[in-house]
Amino acid sequence: MELPELEDLGDLTGRSVLVRCDFNVPLSGGEIQDDLRIRAALPTLSYLVEAGAKVTACSHLGRPGGAPDPAFSMDPVRRRLSELAPGVDLLENLRFDPGETDNSASFVETLVEGHDAYVNDAFGASHRSHASVVGPPMFLPSAAGRLLAREARVLGDLRAAPRRPFLAILGGAKVSDKLGVIEALLEVVDELIVGGGMCFTFLAARGASVGASLLEEDMIDECARLLESGAPIRLPIDITALGPGGVIGNPDAGGEVRQVGTSMPEGWMGLDIGPGSAVEFCDLIAEARTVLWNGPMGVFEDARFAAGTRTVAEAVADCRGFTVVGGGDSAAAARMFGVDDRIDHVSTGGGAALELIEKGDLPGLVALRAGAERSSG
């Protein structure tokens, strides 16, 4: 996927560059809990500063609803950015103006005013047709930042030229959220593991009783269609379940935890893959030469139901093939279990990663290529 890169901007001495970053960091009490997204932008910001540019970063933070809200002020991000990248300015939260999410032409004009070039390094926001993502390339010489370029290259190669066997591991809550991704992956993978809450709709499609587990009844027919097609879908062979009276995240509330087969007693809730499934999945991971993991195998935030996700995370980290974690909760799990530094690529954008895998392109990437064509024409 050819994108204009930073070097294509030419001599930046004394030029003003607007950089769209993804600084949508977790906050608690006005303090940043994880600055990974700020640090991820440093290679791009450092290149621009060292090239002599005057750099202004911009980002959204949370969902303030199109109006200023002190709870979503960029001040904590600005303080941390000043420590990591001195001299880089930061605009206020883009979403304080409704023109950002509306892709308002007037808001785009406001953003680009006074700037000589634009860089998109916000992969996590590039699946949205928002003003700061798709607007500036129509007016300014533009390029992909280091982070965005790597994300597009790695995830694009997964679709186009994976080393085989190619194994995808999908978890998360709902089949409906990932049906398009499932169908896209089934066109290119050798095996597809389905875990997490979404596995119960597939199990129900096989005729299993899922008890009180998460179930999308309106998706059972879709799951049955995929299974009956002969697609290489692997489902859990056992489940770690919570009995009646139990509460997720509160062991003191009671409720028995035990391993069951793929059919659960009435009132029992499946919350993790079982140990047999974990062993089977690990064997597949060990044999793979390309692995994409997106979505936990269970409610890993509760220690009683973390074993499946932890085992898969460690197996992915140990895999000799090329490994990719597709952002979101799976990236959080990789960090929680201390294996993120042994993954070849941890994506910074869960939703954007899945959309790129599903559709092969993103609005932000389309805008950069269109801008490059405009400039060259």
What are the domain boundaries of the chain? 6-147+362-376, 164-320
Asked if 6-147+362-376 and 164-320 have one fold, the answer is: yes
Pick the CATH number of 164-320 from 1.10.1740.10, 3.40.50.1260, 3.40.50.1370, 3.40.120.10: 3.40.50.1260
**Per residue in 38-91, pLDDT tens?**
999 999 999 999 999 999 999 999 999 999 999 999 999 999 999 999 999 999
Report, as an integer, the average pLDDT of 310-336. 93
Which residues are CB-neighbours of 124 under 8 A, at least 6 positions away? 22, 24, 37, 327, 348, 349, 350, 351, 352
Strand partners for 119: 19, 143
Residue 174 designated active-site = yes
Average pLDDT, the chain: 95
pLDDT band for position 188 (cuts 50, 70, 90): very high
Look at residue 346 and give its three-state secondary structure: strand
Of 172, 328, 349, 350, catalytic: 328
**CATH class given for the domain over 6-147+362-376:** alpha beta
pLDDT exceeds cutoff 80 at 289: yes
**Is the pLDDT at 351 greater than 90, yes or no?**
no
- Model confidence at 198: pLDDT above 90: yes
User: What pLDDT shows up at residue 377?
Assistant: 64
Q: Is 369 a catalytic residue?
A: no
Among 153, 159, 174, 369, the one annotated catalytic: 174
- Residue 344, classified by CB atoms within 10 Å of its CB into exposed (0-12), middle (13-18) or buried (19+), is middle
Confidence class for position 242, pLDDT limits 50, 70, 90: very high
Of the candidates 182, 184, 207, which has an alpha carbon nearest to the alpha carbon of residue 196? 182
Q: Which member of 62, 351, 360, 369 is catalytic?
A: 351
Is 37 an active-site residue?
yes
Q: Across-strand partners of 27?
A: 32
Share of the chain above pLDDT 70, in %: 99
Instruction: Write out pLDDT tens, residues 150-186.
Output: 999 999 998 888 999 999 999 988 899 899 999 999 9
**Model pLDDT, residue 348:** 86
Mean pLDDT, residues 225-238 taken together: 96
Predicted local confidence at residue 376, as pLDDT: 72
- Residue 172 has a pLDDT of 87
Q: Which long-range contacts (CB under 8 A, 24 or more apart) does 102-111 make?
A: 102/131, 103/129, 103/130, 103/131, 103/134, 103/135, 104/131, 105/135, 107/131, 107/135, 108/132, 108/135, 108/136, 108/138, 108/139, 109/139, 111/18, 111/58, 111/135, 111/136
Q: Does residue 340 contact residue 307 with C-beta atoms inside 8 Å?
A: no
